[in-house]
């Protein structure tokens, strides 16, 4: 998300000043001869681009939260222990639900990655990504659940 924010800001600055962001200081930016209409269009584009990426990031977080809430709620002995630190009862969880939640998280993460790579290929080229169909994610989550129960 930092790459998206930086690239979007740089695009905005260059559009208004006609110069690369590295060459622009406060005085150059404030002295831009862009019309109010152009500033408005550039700002709307900036907001729209960043909102699109942010909403994809929000979807990833919502999926992660859904997985966390499911594990926490359905492994709790009673409602008072929900959302409090305790051992997780893996036997009370349905593996099919966990798989469904993990698949949703995987799909949301893939959508975010795809959008970031399409929109900001230069800033993301040096980052290493876990493959979309990573077979270890589900196993890792199950292993952590089992370790929490044993511990």
Give start and end residues of each alpha helix (H) in the chain.
2-17, 26-30, 36-74, 95-119, 121-124, 136-150
**Measured distance CA(64)–CA(58) in Å, rounded:** 10
> How much is the pLDDT for 17?
92
> How much is the pLDDT for 73?
80
**Measured distance CA(146)–CA(18) in Å, rounded:** 56
Instruction: Summarize pLDDT for 21-65 with one digit per residue, the tens.
Output: 889 888 888 888 888 899 899 999 988 888 888 888 888 889 888
Structure tokens at 9: 């800001």
Q: In tens digits, what is the pLDDT along the chain, a chain of 151 residues?
A: 777 778 888 888 898 899 988 898 888 888 888 888 998 999 999 888 888 888 888 888 898 888 888 888 887 777 777 767 767 777 778 888 888 888 888 888 888 878 877 777 666 555 555 555 555 566 666 666 666 666 5
Whole-Å CA distances, 59 to 8, 63, 121:
20, 6, 21
Single out the residue of 48, 55, 62 nearest to residue 112, CA to CA. 55
> How much is the pLDDT for 145?
66
Return left, alpha or beta for 83; rule: phi > 0 is left, psi -120 to 50 is alpha, else beta.
Answer: left
Q: At which residue do the structure tokens 């009673």 appear? A: 78
């Amino acid at each position: 998300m930092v790459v998206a924010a930086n690239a979007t800001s740089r695009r905005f600055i260059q559009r208004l000043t006609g110069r690369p962001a590295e060459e622009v200081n406060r005085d150059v930016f404030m002295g831009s001869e862009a019309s109010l209409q152009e500033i408005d269009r550039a700002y709307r584009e900036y907001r729209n681009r960043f909102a699109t990426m942010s909403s994809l990031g929000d979807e990833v977080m919502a999926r992660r939260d859904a997985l966390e809430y499911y594990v926490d709620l359905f492994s709790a002995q009673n409602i008072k222990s929900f959302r409090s630190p305790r051992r997780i009862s893996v036997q009370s969880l349905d593996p099919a639900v966990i798989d469904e939640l993990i698949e949703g998280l995987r799909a949301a993460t893939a959508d975010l990655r795809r959008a970031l790579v399409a929109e900001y290929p230069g800033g993301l080229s040096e980052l290493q990504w876990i493959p979309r169909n990573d077979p270890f994610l589900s196993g890792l989550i199950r292993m952590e659940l089992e370790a929490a129960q044993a511990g």
